[in-house]
């Protein structure tokens, strides 16, 4: 599979098989996360892989969609605000760094035959409190991951002319 095929094969998976993910596949995906670039190489992130059934149930309180509960694992991707690079004009770059690493995650997972979905429309303050996260750790996205139980919808995208 070339890179374009990989990019096109990734989609937002919103239904998962119950099977857990092989440890080697999860390690591979996390290795791809680890090598993501970041501003000034700060790597201002934390990726908590939640697989425990009770913890997953707790996490589902932060995003009340039945499909999330089908995922055998959900990764909480957080920015560490005390480690992120801040430009001279005050622009914080941690969210950008985390976004790049999350997309590494999603593409690596797709290559391994795993589904993922970016979830940002969740209750981040609730997640922070339910998981007793440290003060500097700010959850940016939840990423369910597992073997897909659905099929991708047709992709709608802007044309080349519209984006350049
Ligand atoms: C930053 C970001 C936040 C997103 N948040 C959510 C979300 O909260 N819930 C959800 O179901 N999908 C979410 N998505 C998935 C988008 O809806 C999806 O990527 C888009 O519709 C394109 O579809 P595709 O991923 O299947 O190509 C998010 C995607 C991104 C990049």
Q: In 10 A of CB 149, how many CB atoms?
A: 16
- Residue 88 CA to ligand 1 center (angstroms) comes to 31
In a domain, 73, yes or no: yes
Residue with tokens 């005390």: 82
Residue showing tokens 């391994």 = 112
Instruction: Determine, yes or no, domain membership for 50.
Output: yes
Cα 17 from Cα 101, distance rounded (Å): 25
Within a domain: 140: yes
CATH code at position 70: 3.40.109.10
- Average pLDDT per block of 10 residues along the chain, 164 residues long: 97 98 98 98 98 98 98 98 98 98 98 98 98 98 98 96 98
CA of 122 to the centre of ligand 1 (A): 12
For residue 99, the enclosing domain spans 3-148
Threshold 0.85, pTM exceeds: yes
Helical pair 94-111 and 23-34, crossing angle rounded to 10 deg: 140
For ligand 1, whether the C-beta of 106 sits within 6 Å is: no
12 forms bridges with which residues in the sheet?
Answer: 116
Domain count, the chain: 1
Q: Is residue 68 part of a domain?
A: yes
In this structure, the chain runs to a length of 164
Q: Whose CA is nearest to atom 9 of ligand 1?
A: 119
In a domain, 161, yes or no: no
Does 96 map to a domain? yes
How high is the pLDDT of residue 56?
98
Residue 118 is predicted with a pLDDT of 99
Is the minimum distance from the CB of 120 to ligand 1 under 6 angstroms? yes
| Residue from 118, 122, 124, 150 to probe ligand 1 pocket by mutation (most atoms less than 8 Å from CB) | 118
Compute the CA torsion angle 100, 64, 48, 73 (nearest 10 deg). -100
- Distance from Cα 119 to the centre of ligand 1, integer Å: 6
* Residues 48 and 131: beta-carbon distance below 8 Å: yes
Is 80 part of a structural domain of the chain?
Answer: yes
Is residue 121 within 6 Å of ligand 1 at its C-beta?
Answer: yes
Give pLDDT, residue 41. Answer: 98
Asked whether residue 81 is assigned to any structural domain, the reply reads yes
3-class secondary-structure state, position 87: coil
Q: What's the pLDDT at 47?
A: 98
């Amino acid at each position: 599979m070339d890179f374009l095929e990989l990019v096109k094969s990734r989609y937002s998976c919103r239904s998962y098989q119950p099977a857990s993910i092989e440890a080697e596949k999860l390690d591979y995906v996390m290795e791809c996360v680890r090598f993501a670039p970041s501003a000034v190489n700060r790597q201002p992130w934390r990726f908590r892989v939640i697989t425990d059934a009770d913890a997953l149930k707790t996490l589902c309180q932060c995003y009340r969609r039945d499909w999330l509960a089908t995922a055998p694992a959900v990764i909480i991707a957080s920015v560490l605000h005390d480690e992120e690079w801040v430009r001279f004009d005050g622009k914080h770059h941690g969210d950008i760094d985390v976004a790049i690493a999350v997309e590494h995650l999603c593409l690596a997972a797709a290559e391994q035959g795993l589904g993922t979905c970016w979830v940002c429309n969740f209750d981040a303050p609730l997640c922070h409190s339910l998981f007793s996260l440290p003060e500097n750790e700010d959850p940016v996205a939840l990423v369910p991951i597992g073997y897909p139980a659905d099929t991708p919808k047709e992709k709608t995208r802007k044309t080349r002319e519209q984006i350049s």
